[in-house]
Amino acid sequence: MTSEEKETQVADDRVVTIDYTLTVDGEVFDSSEEEGPLDYLHGHGNIIFGLEKELTGMQVGESKTVLVEPKEGYGDVDSEAFFDLPREEFPDDVPLELGIELEITDDDGEMMFAKIVEVDEDNVRMDTNHPLAGKTLQFDVTVNGIRKATAEEIEHGHAHFGDGHQH
Ligand code: ZN
């Protein structure tokens, strides 16, 4: 195989351009139709592991449907990621309704997102799992381009774009 042939296939240290639609529980969660095609550096964990693995060896123009189980996606739902807070700890302007998402700070000062999953007379139950934890992810992907990464991109571990340096 010549080096030119190799660049028609997705492999480590290549910048790959993909179009994708992510469907979860039968509903479109995210799509490059809205966000634009995604450029990423293959082999550096820039995208979900279960998807990156399946893209290896694909060719330009090739499409595939990839199902990613939680363990290779956003992980299983962690029962420890739920906690209760007394109602009075919430500011008055926060509606205590199911599904409301809040940015909260934990005891160590770390910011995280939490969703209200239960409300009773005294307490509000919050869930800090990733919204896609426990979900099987369906990616419909098409490989639209492959190029060799620059030494700088490989060193940084991500793709660079045009004249800019996007981090
Ligand atoms: Zn960089």
DSSP string computed for 37-90: PEEEETTTT-S-HHHHHHHTT-BTT-EEEEEE-GGGTT-PPPGGGEEEEEGGGS
Q: Which CATH class is domain 14-74+135-156?
A: alpha beta
What is the model's pTM? 0.79
Helix (H) or strand (E) run with residue 151 in it: helix 151-156
Q: What percent of the chain has pLDDT over 70?
A: 93
The answer to whether residue 3 scores a pLDDT higher than 80 is no
pLDDT in tens, 91-114: 889 899 999 999 888 788 888 889
Give the gyration radius of the chain's Cα atoms.
20
Neighbours of 120 (CB within 10 A): 9
Q: Band of the pLDDT at 6, cuts 50, 70, 90?
A: low
Pick the range with the lowest mean pLDDT from 3-7, 70-74, 101-105, 111-115: 3-7
Cα 164 to ligand 1 centre (Å)? 9
The pLDDT assigned to 163 comes to: 57
Tokens of 112: 């995280």
Domain boundaries, the chain: 14-74+135-156, 79-127
Distance CA 106, CA 100 (A): 18
Q: In 10 A of CB 143, how many CB atoms?
A: 21
**154 Cα: distance to centroid of ligand 1 (angstroms):** 9
CATH 3.20.20.70 holds for 79-127 = no
Render pLDDT for 117-153 as a digit per residue (tens, 0 to 9): 999 999 999 999 998 999 999 999 999 999 999 999 9
* Ligand 1 center from residue 37 Cα (angstroms): 19
| Identical topology for domains 14-74+135-156 and 79-127 | no
- Residue 145 CA to ligand 1 centre (angstroms): 20
